[in-house]
Amino acid sequence: MHTRFPPEPNGFLHIGHAKSICLNFGLAREFGGKCNLRYDDTNPTKEEQVYIDAINEDVRWLGFEWEQPECYTSDYFDRLYEWARQLIRQGDAYVDDQTADEIRETRGTLKEPGTESPYRNRPVEENLDLFERMKKGEFDEGKKVLRAKIDMASGNLNLRDPVLYRILKAPHPRTGNAWCIYPMYDWAHGQSDSIEGITHSVCTLEFEDHRPLYDWCLDKLGAFHPQQIEFARLQLSHTLLSKRVLIQMVKDGTVNGWDDPRMPTISGLRRRGYTPESIREFCERIGVAKSNSTVEIGLLEHCLREELNKTARRVMAVLNPLKLVITNYPEGQTEEFDAENNPEDESAGFRKVPFSREVYIERDDFMEDPPKKFFRLGPGREVRLKHACIIRCDEVIKNDAGEIVELHCSYDPETRGGANPADGRKIKGTLQWVSVPHAVDAEVRLYDHLFSHETPWDSKACPELQSCLNPESLTVLKNAKVEPELGAAQLGDRFQFLRMGYFSVDPDAKPGAPVFNRTVTLKDTWGKMVSKGKAG
């Protein structure tokens, strides 16, 4: 088995491409075959080297290695040209002088047949001569094309004398000015597959109509004939995977570049903190079929959490800090408690976490008048500070505006170090915290789905993209407090901020000024109860 992943270098790869990559490379891996990376670079007006570099990086990052060296359709331009001459000699192709408009008008419609070009029956020698002169640059763009001579009455429009070559006086990123005629996809793809010895040419559903043409070309040429097989492209809820729209959002500033952590691009997912493993697992679980379907983005997030739960170090961070003073703890005293790094992985060991009289807790973890099922902190209530001790809230301090600025609590010395109370009373709530004098300031960026609408690609449900955007897709928190050791977090580090979610270091981070991206939240049963009104 020999497969290939054939991107056009005209944009960045996204999660939909990942499905194709995993499929093609996965097939080769599973059946002991090979997989090529082939750039389908037949349109120099749209393609650029920067995209090739980005695609190479993304495929490698996803964990796949292609047969060296990578392939380019442009490497086959000579062969393709010779093959075109063979077609002409066989009387299966001709040079057409009609304009693009004329060709469109004579193609017919979906229900009516087209009409044949007046140039359709030119003698072979004339076609050969004209085609050669096209190659030499004697004609302007649009003046002539090479067409296959098939059937202008075919029900399949692709068979109504499709254009094989057009004149494009544009320099090519790889062949420079060597060519001014470039092959169309239909003329290039199958033959490139054939040259590379591809056995299974896997592509998306919209090419199903092209298969008869794919077969026609190879049959006429008598060349090695790979088999084209189609599958449904990925559609993800709350996500747009159209290259056109992605480019637009980058250009109009809706997002901050191709690698904005909200983008479904591989580079965006990478910056967001996704792991290659989780993306591969996702591609494995969604399966491959021919029916158009939409996968819930929750499945992608599940695959991520599943992996991060096993691998990410747990650490404490407070996103929206509220100061809490433990009045019966000696002023100026500091001690360290042992904290487990990952309950899912014993080998991750323990670390020391500094504790003192004043700590920050999450503002949302306190309610002045909490509902019954809220088992976090409230006046007179007891709660556990993870790894440290049990505290009771004695007093709520407010400013003149009536805002809560500080909590006064007392701790139970018996529970110091995380011990359970001797009297056997159960403490339901556990909070993460950060010691005030030891805290490191951090910027935390909270990300959510770019689109609040489930099917942003649906023009009926979403006539205007803007109105379907999630206004809360990015929330920047500049006043987060994190454990001291996180001040030294490195790019590529991933953590679970206890009870808050999984976070990764953003490239914007600088020494002493950490920046964290929320990769994905933790499952939030309480949040779900609140939004369903069952929290009372």
Partner RNA sequence: UGGGGCGUCGACAAGUGGUCUAAGUCACGGGAUUUUGGAUCCCGCAUUCGGAGGUUCGAAUCCUCCCGCCCCAGCCA
Q: Counting contacts by CB under 7 A, is residue 315 touching RNA?
A: no
Contact 502, 496 (CB under 8 A): yes
Q: Counting contacts by CB under 7 A, is residue 531 touching RNA?
A: no
Span of 60-68, 77-85, 219-227, 291-299 interacting with RNA by CB under 7 A: 291-299
**Close Cβ partners of 459 (under 8 Å, ≥ 6 residues apart):** none
Q: Cβ 145 to RNA, closest distance in Å? A: 5
Contact 77, 189 (CB under 8 A): no
Q: Is 138 a residue of the active site?
A: no
Q: Counting contacts by CB under 7 A, is residue 472 touching RNA?
A: no
Q: Cβ 179 to RNA, closest distance in Å? A: 12
Size of site (CB under 7 A) for RNA = 87
498-519 core/surface letters (b: 16 or more CB in 10 A; e: else): bbbbbbbbbeebeeeebbbbbb
| Alpha carbon distance 447, 273 (integer Å) | 11
Q: Cβ 399 to RNA, closest distance in Å? A: 26
Cα angle for residues 25, 31, 35 (degrees, 5° grid): 30
Contact 261, 268 (CB under 8 A): yes
The bridge status of strand 515-520 relative to strand 2-5 is: unpaired
Q: Nearer to RNA by C-beta: 237 or 470?
A: 237
- Of the candidates 2, 4, 10, the residue with the CA atom closest to the CA atom of residue 41: 10
| Alpha carbon distance 522, 536 (integer Å) | 22
Q: Counting contacts by CB under 7 A, is residue 478 touching RNA?
A: no
- For 197-333, strand residue ranges (E) read 200-204, 227-231, 313-315, 317-318, 321-326
Q: Cβ 287 to RNA, closest distance in Å? A: 3
Q: Counting contacts by CB under 7 A, is residue 208 touching RNA?
A: yes
Span of 29-37, 87-95, 253-261, 286-294 interacting with RNA by CB under 7 A: 286-294
- Of the candidates 283, 233, 276, 311, the residue with the CA atom closest to the CA atom of residue 60: 276
Q: For residue 266, give the H/E element and its range.
A: helix 266-272
Q: Counting contacts by CB under 7 A, is residue 24 touching RNA?
A: no
Q: Counting contacts by CB under 7 A, is residue 461 touching RNA?
A: no
**Interface map 395-424 toward RNA (x if CB under 7 A):** ----------------------xxxx----
Contact 161, 155 (CB under 8 A): no
Of residues 29, 107, 220, 233, which has the active-site annotation? 233
Q: Cβ 97 to RNA, closest distance in Å? A: 8
Residues of span 332-351 touching RNA by CB under 7 A: 342-344
Q: Within a 10 A sphere around the Cβ of 478, how many other Cβ atoms?
A: 10
Residues of span 40-79 touching RNA by CB under 7 A: 40, 42-43, 46
| Alpha carbon distance 311, 516 (integer Å) | 17
Span of 17-25, 81-89, 158-166, 484-492 interacting with RNA by CB under 7 A: 158-166
Q: Which of 12, 25, 131, 182 binds RNA (CB under 7 A)?
A: 182
Q: Which of 229, 299, 404, 477 binds RNA (CB under 7 A)?
A: 299
Q: Which of 54, 184, 442, 450 binds RNA (CB under 7 A)?
A: 184
- Residue 530, token pair as written in the block: 């609140």
- Interaxial angle between packed helices 276-286 and 15-30, expressed in degrees from 0 to 180 and rounded to the nearest 10: 80
Span of 50-58, 78-86, 401-409, 524-532 interacting with RNA by CB under 7 A: 524-532
Q: Nearer to RNA by C-beta: 393 or 474?
A: 393
Q: Which of 137, 287, 413, 437 binds RNA (CB under 7 A)?
A: 287
Q: Counting contacts by CB under 7 A, is residue 455 touching RNA?
A: no
Q: Nearer to RNA by C-beta: 28 or 304?
A: 304
Q: Is 8 a residue of the active site?
A: yes
Q: Counting contacts by CB under 7 A, is residue 191 touching RNA?
A: no
Of residues 120, 169, 220, 243, which has the active-site annotation? 243
Contact 429, 384 (CB under 8 A): yes
Residue with tokens 């250009």, as numbered in its chain: 251
For residue 145, the SS3 value is strand
- Of the candidates 387, 438, 431, the residue with the CA atom closest to the CA atom of residue 409: 431
Q: Counting contacts by CB under 7 A, is residue 526 touching RNA?
A: yes
Q: Cβ 185 to RNA, closest distance in Å? A: 3
Q: Cβ 328 to RNA, closest distance in Å? A: 18
Cα Rg, the chain, nearest whole Å: 31
What is the number of H-type helices and E-type strands within the chain?
Answer: 13, 25
Cα angle for residues 270, 304, 302 (degrees, 5° grid): 140
**Interface map 73-112 toward RNA (x if CB under 7 A):** -------------------------xxx--xx--x-xxx-
Q: Is 251 a residue of the active site?
A: no
Residues of span 109-138 touching RNA by CB under 7 A: 109-111
Which are the catalytic amino acids?
A: 8, 233, 243
